[in-house]
């Protein structure tokens, strides 16, 4: 069957570095970390840090009245991101709704805030206060449904939940729908808002986010020799995908996508397999990759695992390929993180600038990637984007400059 080429025509980031394409790109090019103390849970729960989004910034971009009642925080992020992506592409909700369309969203977690609040209410006040609303608002499937409702569309809906790979897997699934001719527009991406008592406390105990709030702006250090662990944060990004035949200009083509699983205890070993498969779909060789948008959460073992996979893929050529992790700037928004990476990679291709790896100051010999803590003008045509999640899941995507 003939496959159509797929391009990104709209970008809708909702991140601690900025909301909307222009704010986000300006923010992510700054050598600044948005990680700060997170005190909303109360002092009794101990120190926490995160990169998070202030509500007054969020609601500058959307009328609260159009958001479905009881919508989860990560759902609101996705609704805002979807509307911003359409706006960025110059497409009205009516035009989107009248076309053959799909909405594919990825989230690592359900709405723990809504679930926890419902449990707490019943525990304190009894079964009489139980409400049906959590059944309709807390599941990962409610995200795509909410975007569809707000836009007044009749899109095909799909929800993906593959740990932290969710946002990239959602984009990959949507790109396949457009390529096969099953839809002409697709809103897709990832969103997560995990900054509630659960799961953030469990993540701290598991060593996936710091147990200190000392010097927060320096605590997320991707690939740096003195890194400790990653920082769990919140955010989202929605993209608009179209076939190459559409009249709208694009940021980048999606040339390849794949996923693979680690074998045994080989952390990020499946990242090598995912990248190889993505390259094969793009009909490319590894030596044709010009830049790497790395997963790089700043976790001691995960960063080394990714670096090991990249050495295996590129060999000595790895030293010549510019690479970046944006996690030092905005932490890891779980399933939203890889979608934000795709946006940053597409904008980097469009503007020919590689963002900084914030807080990368001391090279780790076990992580021999070509990084910089400053934004750098770099001529590049093809970018490999990596993602990794708990359970040993991995995904990879190849973008090409339009």
Query: CATH code at 362?
Result: 3.40.47.10
Looking at the structure, tell me whether residues 279 and 196 fall in a common domain: no
- By residue range, what is the domain housing residue 203? 6-243
- Residue 316: inside a domain: yes
Do 51 and 141 have their domain in common? yes
Q: How many domains does the structure of the chain reveal?
A: 2
Q: Are residues 19 and 83 in the same domain?
A: yes
0.85 surpassed by pTM = yes
192 and 96 within one domain:
yes
pLDDT in tens, 191-214: 999 999 999 999 999 999 999 999
Sequence-separated (6 or more) residues with CB below 8 Å from residue 99:
183, 184, 185
Domain-terminating residue out of 197, 220, 243: 243
pLDDT digits (tens, 9 = 90+) for 9-27: 999 999 999 999 999 999 9
Here the tokens at position 320 are: 């010549």
Position 1 in a domain? no
Is the domain of 124 the same as that of 263? no
Do 276 and 318 reside in the same domain of the chain?
A: yes
Q: pLDDT value at position 104? A: 98
The domain boundary, picked from 208, 243, 278, lies at 243
> Does residue 286 lie within any of the structural domains?
yes
Q: Write down the pLDDT at residue 2.
A: 59
Q: Is residue 15 part of a domain?
A: yes
What per-residue confidence (pLDDT) applies to 386?
99
Q: Is residue 248 in some structural domain?
A: no
From 195, 215, 243, the end of a domain falls on 243
Q: Are residues 294 and 356 in the same domain?
A: yes
Residue 249 is assigned to a structural domain of this protein:
no
How confident is the model at residue 98, as a pLDDT? 95
List, for the chain, all residue ranges whose pLDDT scores fall below the cut of 70. Answer: 1-2
Check whether residue 214 and residue 260 sit in a common domain.
no
Statement to judge: residues 203 and 67 lie in one domain: yes
Q: How many C-beta atoms lie closer than 10 Å to residue 93's C-beta?
A: 15
* 230 and 100 share one domain: yes
228 shares a domain with 102: yes
Do 269 and 197 lie in a common domain? Answer: no
In-domain check, residue 206: yes
Structural domain contains residue 139: yes
């Amino acid at each position: 069957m003939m496959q159509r080429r797929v391009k990104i025509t709209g970008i809708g980031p909702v991140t601690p570095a900025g909301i909307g394409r222009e704010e986000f790109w300006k923010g992510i090019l700054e050598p600044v970390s948005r990680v700060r103390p997170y005190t909303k849970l109360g002092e009794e729960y101990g120190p926490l840090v995160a990169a998070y989004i202030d509500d007054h910034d969020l609601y500058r971009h959307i009328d609260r009245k159009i958001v479905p009642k009881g919508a989860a925080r990560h759902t609101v992020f996705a609704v805002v991101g979807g509307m911003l992506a359409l706006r960025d592409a110059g497409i009205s909700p009516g035009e989107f709704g009248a076309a053959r369309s799909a909405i594919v969203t990825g989230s690592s977690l359900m709405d723990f805030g809504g679930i926890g609040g419902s449990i707490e209410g019943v525990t304190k006040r009894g079964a009489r206060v139980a409400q049906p609303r959590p059944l309709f608002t807390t599941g990962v499937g409610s995200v795509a449904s909410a975007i569809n409702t707000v836009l007044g569309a009749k899109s095909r809906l799909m929800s993906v939940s593959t740990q932290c790979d969710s946002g990239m897997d959602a984009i990959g699934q949507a790109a396949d729908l457009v390529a096969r001719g099953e839809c002409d527009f697709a809103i897709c991406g990832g969103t997560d808002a995990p900054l509630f008592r659960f799961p953030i406390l469990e993540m701290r105990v598991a060593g996936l986010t710091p147990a200190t709030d000392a010097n927060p702006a320096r605590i997320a250090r991707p690939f740096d020799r003195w890194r400790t662990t990653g920082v769990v944060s919140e955010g989202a990004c929605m993209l608009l995908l179209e076939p190459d035949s559409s009249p709208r200009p694009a940021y980048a083509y999606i040339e390849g996508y794949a996923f693979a699983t680690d074998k045994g205890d080989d952390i990020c070993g499946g990242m090598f397999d995912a990248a190889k498969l993505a390259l094969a779909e793009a009909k490319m060789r590894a030596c044709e990759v010009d830049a790497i948008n790395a997963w790089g959460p700043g976790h001691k073992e995960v960063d080394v695992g990714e670096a090991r996979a990249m050495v295996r893929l590129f060999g000595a050529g790895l030293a010549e390929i510019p690479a970046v992790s944006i996690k030092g700037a905005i932490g890891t928004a779980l399933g939203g993180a890889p979608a934000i990476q795709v946006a940053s990679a597409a904008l980097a291709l469009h503007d020919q600038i590689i963002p900084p790896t914030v807080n990368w100051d001391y090279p780790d010999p076990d992580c021999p990637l070509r990084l910089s803590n400053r934004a750098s003008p770099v001529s590049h045509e093809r970018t490999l984007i990596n993602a990794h999640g708990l359970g040993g899941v991995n995904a990879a995507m190849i973008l090409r400059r339009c």
